[in-house]
Amino acid sequence: MPRKRIFFLLVTLILYWHLFPSFSNAEEKTQGIVDLRILETTDLHADLVNYDYYQTQTDHRVGLVKTATLIHQARKETKNSLLFDVGDHLKGNPLGEYLARIRGMHKGKVHPVYRAFNYLAYDAIAIGNHEFNYGLKFLNVALKGANMPVINANVYSVKKNKPYFMPYVILKRNVVDLSGAHHELKVGVIGFMPTQIMSWDRANLEGKVFAKPIVDAAKEFVPAMKAEGADIIIALAHTGISNEPYNPDTENAVYYLTQIPGIDAILAGHSHSVFPGPVYEKLPNTNIDTGEINGKPVVMAGAFGNRLGIIDLQIEYTAGKWKVVKGTSLTRSIADENGKPLVKKDKRLFKLVKPEHEETVDFIRKIGL
């Protein structure tokens, strides 16, 4: 064999031995590491369309038809994502009032809010305090149109002394790690709301349900979720953020939920604020840059569909279990501070909710508002 050919083969083998292990090691280092994006809407208050029913004109600062575009974009940016709503989605504007008090919910009809949620394929939704404003009968009929788990862990049936809703759900999802390998991830999702519903909606709820303190319910159910096999746990917390001294009826309990072992991320709501944001920069043990409170990622996406909340988790499979190794949060807005639109509306979603939107506008015109 010619010397040149022998030399070429030796060089090739040396390069292969040096390069191939590095490729193998790189793949091993990314195997079992998953980037998981969690998306939040909250306090929509029936603002499905970018429209101000009081001024009877387009309003680019509100509307799920705009938030939906942000949802589509955020999903395209990652291989693994989940979408949740944190509650207060049925009541809050003339469309919600018209559907509940004028037209009513009839058997077999799907409320446009849940039609929108079904179209966007929400993974689970929480119940907020305003869902009770039209009474339990209306709510129960409307919820039959939701194609995803509806959860709350701290509202109990008086008759049965058990959670009135499904307290939590464990979602089994196929995820792809950084090396391209597939895994089954069990995502525990639990919901909460303020105990003040018993005074705010006494006429609708007294004698039918009662509310347990948020933190007490979390301490009861989170260990049960872990025992049931939840790899990570996400709280859909229809409650705000405050470090005021805790008591059983604390309305804004997110800060204290971050201190509960086992909860990995919190989607907050209720107070219509934005986290991470400057309002909370003096909150103890809070990192506004990463969106963490007491080391746990938290997000609150304003209200009326004006923002999409995002938590990006990196989780790793090690020692036989999944562990969150990093979490950051942010929000994205549908309009700038002057109300100039930053995204276009989702035309397919608008078409789905257009009939009820137009009915509401026509009704408002007829009564001369």
For residue range 237-247, list pLDDT tens digits in order. 999 999 999 99
d(CA 240, CA 237): 8
How far out from the chain centre does Cα 52 lie? Answer: 25
Phi and psi at residue 280, to the nearest 5°? -110, 15
For residue 352, which of 15, 115, 97 has the smallest C-alpha distance?
115
Collapsing DSSP to helix, strand or coil, 118 comes out as helix
Q: Is residue 360 classed exposed, middle or buried when 0-12, 13-18 and 19+ CB atoms within 10 A define those classes?
A: buried
Which pTM value belongs to this model?
A: 0.92
| Cβ contacts of 349 within 8 Å, gap of 6 or more | 48, 64, 65, 68, 116, 119, 120
Q: Which residues pair with 191 in a beta bridge?
A: 236
Can you read off the two tokens belonging to residue 66? 């705009």
Residue 108 has a pLDDT of: 76
For residue 66, which of 277, 268, 308, 357 has the smallest C-alpha distance?
308
- pLDDT range class, residue 106, cuts 50, 70, 90: confident
In this prediction, residues 89-107 reach a mean pLDDT of 92
Residue 22 has a pLDDT of: 47
Average pLDDT, the chain: 93
| Cβ contacts of 211 within 8 Å, gap of 6 or more | 154, 155, 156, 193, 194, 195, 197, 198
d(CA 267, CA 189): 10
Lowest mean pLDDT, pick from 17-31, 146-160, 190-204: 17-31
Angle at which helix 64-76 crosses helix 112-120, to 10 degrees, equals 10
Give 135's DSSP letter: -
For residue 312, which of 295, 330, 296 has the smallest C-alpha distance?
330
pLDDT at residue 17 is higher than 80: no
Answer left, alpha or beta for residue 254, where phi above 0 means left and psi between -120 and 50 means alpha: alpha
- pLDDT range class, residue 351, cuts 50, 70, 90: very high
In this prediction, residues 345-349 reach a mean pLDDT of 98
In this prediction, residues 298-309 reach a mean pLDDT of 98
d(CA 79, CA 215): 33
pLDDT at residue 236 is higher than 70: yes
Answer yes or no: CATH 3.90.1170.50 is held by domain 31-366: no
